[in-house]
Each structure stands twice: as structure tokens, then as C-alpha cells.
Structure 1
Amino acid sequence: MRTHKVQRSPFIVPTTDGKVIKEHFGIATDGNSEISIAHMVAPPGWSEPFQTPEFDEYTFIIKGKKQFIIGEETVILNEGESIKIEKNTRVQYSNPFNDVCEYIAICRPAFSMELVNREN
């Protein structure tokens, strides 16, 4: 029985907003619905609509800055900082800054379009 899995070919999620998403573990990559781990690169000016996900999301900033609007509060994370946003929290993610933001996102349970609940 194998006790480990090395991921050398993450699933590249198709996007239309310039963001690069490489899922290393999760539903699209290995069918795991309990957790997803993705490497993200958000270009300057990138943003997503508000959402109220049905999963906890942890974000660790590798490079650059990322903005989070959580309820009435705006939080800006810098390189080396991290945040946990609990499920069922309304949030908007963006990179309104001039530099690329590179980060790791971990979701429990795993990210899925059915659980993200994005607003239009």
C-alpha cells in the first residue's frame, strides 16, 4: 500500500481573468473532496465577486499583497502573512495593487463551484 503521493502535474484551472490556479490536491486533481491545496498567481487589478463559501479557506502570501473584504472590514496581507476565513463568511478577494500576488490557498472541505456561492 502506498503511503504518499508526489504531485508533479497539478490541474491547471481554466480562467478568464488572468489568474493562474494550479490545484495540487483536491476534487479536480485527485478526487479528494475533504481538502484542496492550490498555488495561485493573481495579476495586478484582479478581483472576484463577493462569495460566501461553504468551506474554511486558509491563504498564505508568498509574494506581493492581497486584499480581503470580510463583512465591513478590509484586510491586506503582505508577503509571509496568512489568514483563515471560516466557512459561511461573506468575502471578496482582490489584488488592487501594482504587483503580482502569489499565494497558496487551502480549502476544507475542498473548493468546488457548488460550495463557493459567488454573487453575480
Structure 2
Amino acid sequence: MKKKYTVQKSPFVVPTTDGKLIEEHFGNATHRNSQLSLAHMIAPPNWSEPFQTPEFVEYTYIISGKKQFNINGELIVLEAGQSIKIEKNTRVQYSNPFSEPCEYIAICLPAFSIETVHREE
């Protein structure tokens, strides 16, 4: 009988050059699942990435610290215990301009892919 569950003990650690930790537990890199990605992340202090306009919905839940979202020019700061849903095709920039690391969980529907994130130069 085929198991009806999957336990993830070894997430895929996405290589980065900006000090951000990305551990994909489920998604394209771990299981070739294009429907959903689930990742645990830690953004270091004073971290930011370019604006992007992804072709996926992204949910973010803050575990500790704070994270800033620039959504079409509107700045939103979330703290531990807060969450946000950002609709697909929304221009957004993620950052942690604060002095503490920010730990969070991100879920993307469909799954995150470098081809569909559309990061700006």
C-alpha cells in the first residue's frame, strides 16, 4: 500500500549570495511539485531583494523578527505572529531593514520558480 504522507527531514537549501537562508521543504526543487512550495526562511538584518512581479500567490507567516513589504509603493511591516497574502502579478519588494533577523514561512501557489518570479534588475 502506498503511503498517504511524506515526511521531509532534509529540505533543499537554496544557494544564495545575500546571506538569506532558504530551506524548501516542498516544491519544485525537492519533489518537482509545481503546484505548491513551502519554504522556511531567515532574512538577515539589512537584507533586501529586487522588486518582482511573480506569477504565483505568496503567503508569508512571520515567526520572529520583522519583515517589510513594498507593495506597489505601499510599505507594510509585519511582526511575529502576523501573516500576509500577496496576489499573483503584484509588484512587490521584500526586505528586512531592521537590526534583527526575520524568520518566516512562505507558501507559493503554484510553486516558486525562477522563471515565474520575474525579478527586476
Task: Give the unaligned 5+ runs of structure 1.
Answer: none
- Deviation, structure 1 residue 43: 0.2
Task: Give 2:77's aligned residue.
Answer: 76
1:25 aligned to 2:26?
Answer: yes
Q: Which residue of 1 aligns with 2:117?
A: 116
Runs of 5+ unmatched residues, structure 2: none
TM-score (norm 1): 0.99
Deviation at 1:72, TM superposition (A): 2.1
Is the counterpart of residue 38 in structure 1 residue 42 in structure 2? no
How far apart are residue 2 of structure 1 and its match? 1.2
1:41 alignment partner, SS class: strand
The one-letter code sitting in structure 1 at the alignment partner of 2:58 is E
Per the alignment, residue 50 of structure 1 pairs with: 51
Query: Percent same amino acid at aligned positions?
Result: 69
Normalised by the length of structure 2, the TM-score is: 0.99
Structure 1 counterpart of 2:93: 92
- What does the per-residue CA deviation read over 1:6-39, in whole Å, with 9 as the maximum and x for residues that have no partner? 0000000000000000000000001100000000
Aligned residue identity for 1:108? L
- Identify the residue that residue 17 of structure 2 maps to in structure 1: 16
Aligned AA (1:101) = C
CA shift digits 1:39-72 (9 cap, x unpaired):
0000001000000000000000000000000012
Runs ≥4 residues deviating over 3 A: none
SS in structure 1 at match of 2:42 = strand
